[in-house]
Amino acid sequence: MENDVLVIGGGLAGWRAAEAAVQAGASVALVANGAGNSPEIHALNVPVGPGDSVDLFIADTLRSGRGACDRALVETLCRESVALADEFPWDRGPDGSLDLLQPVGCSVPRCVSIGHHIGAWALAKLKRDLAGKVEVVRGRIVTLRAEDGVFHAEFDSHAENAENAERSHSLRFTLHSSLVAKTAVLATGGWCGKYAFSDNPPELRGDGIALARSLGAAVRDRDAVQYEPTVALAPAAVRGIPVITTMLHEGATFRNALGEEFLPDRHANKDELSRAILAEIAAGRGVDGGVWFDATGVPADVLRTRYADTVRRYAAAGVDVTREPMLVAPAPHTSLGGVVIDARCRVLRPDGSPVPGLFAAGEVTGGVHGLNRIGGNAGTEVLVFGRIAGREAACASCRRSAP
């Protein structure tokens, strides 16, 4: 059976694209090889707080990107993000105003959340809303080719995973060795799962970039990787889990083996924080390959409410973060390079022309964040560009069907 749109990717970018394509009237098949990093997205940036604006959001993103951002993509990200403010039941203060966090790299508090679970919350909602409306296949695409105006995808399917996922989400799962569609959306995430110490799941190994290149797509910034500065080293129960850096604006700091504070700047970006930590380790002032992330300066009631997951997770591992520091180290977190797209999420060739019928969204793409991503922009990116990619793919499928 031929679908209008084939979405490759089971994270938020993929499901968001599927939602937009269905809303546009397209028939959709979605191939998922795991949810990627999406369940771990705890907040996202929306420029609607006091003293904030779209223009300030654009300026922060461009500055943090170290001169390597695609301005058209940045402007699309920031302008389209405003609509997210009314889409979800965000956490609010007693007076009804949004409970905003200030991520590293942002000039003002800008992050909104739902109990620090926006990724898991939004993913579950999308799956519920699309139950029975999308053909879902569990598997990993191994080849994607374009012939006679349609895409042919071949993959390895996982029957056991499909059965488990069907029971969990009440979705209609099928098993195939191939699928055919008029258009395709790549939403496969990045490649940081290939590193031995990373906070990424292992399925994130750059599959989408390889598929795009096989179809003649251009790829940019292939060596650009952002390190999360605060990934847990120990205890073993929390190893590889990132600690939320918004704590830095609420009293947390870094300390070396001598107990000395060395936080370069509470407004520093993630790349600057990672370099400062690695410099301490290289100078022999590290602790078992890391440093202390000391959140004891954050009021205990703030930790237990705003950062309840972190407190509970560490408590289960025998650490009271209201009284004890956390051992962390930088780890590969985000692949900043990827497939070249335009503001309509069309995948581009090296000469700037679009690959017919091929779209991409999320971490599989490059250019949105330049050489450094602001904390909170990952969630904004997948929701904004996922929607654009799905909508554009649905429209393109209609044009490809026209006589």
pLDDT in tens, the chain (403 residues): 799 999 999 999 999 999 999 999 999 999 999 999 999 999 999 999 999 999 999 999 999 999 999 999 999 999 999 999 999 999 999 999 999 999 999 999 999 999 989 999 999 999 999 999 999 998 899 999 999 999 999 987 553 344 344 334 444 444 557 899 999 999 999 999 999 999 999 999 999 999 999 999 999 999 999 999 999 999 999 999 999 999 999 999 999 999 999 998 888 999 999 999 999 999 999 999 999 999 999 999 999 999 999 999 999 999 999 999 999 999 999 999 999 999 999 999 999 999 999 999 999 999 999 999 999 999 999 999 999 999 999 999 988 766 5
Q: What is the pLDDT of residue 402?
A: 65
Task: Give me the CATH topology for the region 226-333.
Answer: Flavocytochrome C3; Chain A, domain 1 (3.90.700)
Q: What is the pLDDT of residue 157?
A: 59
- For 357-372, letters b (16+ CB in 10 Å) and e give bbbbbbbbbbbbbbbb
Domain boundaries, the chain: 2-223+336-401, 226-333
Distance CA 28, CA 211 (A): 19
Q: Which of 119, 178, 111, 115 is nearest to 150 (CA)?
A: 178
Compute the C-alpha angle 134/36/109, nearest 5°.
105
- CB-CB contact of 291 with 255 (8 Å): yes
Distance CA 326, CA 340 (A): 38
Is the whole-model pTM more than 0.75? yes
Class of domain 2-223+336-401: alpha beta
Whether 2-223+336-401 and 226-333 share one fold: the answer is no
Residue 314's φ and ψ, nearest 5 degrees, are: -70, -35
C-alpha distance from residue 72 to each of 14, 152, 193, 344, 386 (Å)? 22, 31, 29, 10, 16
Q: Which of 42, 17, 12, 36 is nearest to 376 (CA)?
A: 42
- pLDDT tens by residue, 11-62: 999 999 999 999 999 999 999 999 999 999 999 999 999 999 999 999 999 9
Compute the C-alpha angle 203/204/206, nearest 5°.
120
Q: What is the pLDDT of residue 1?
A: 74
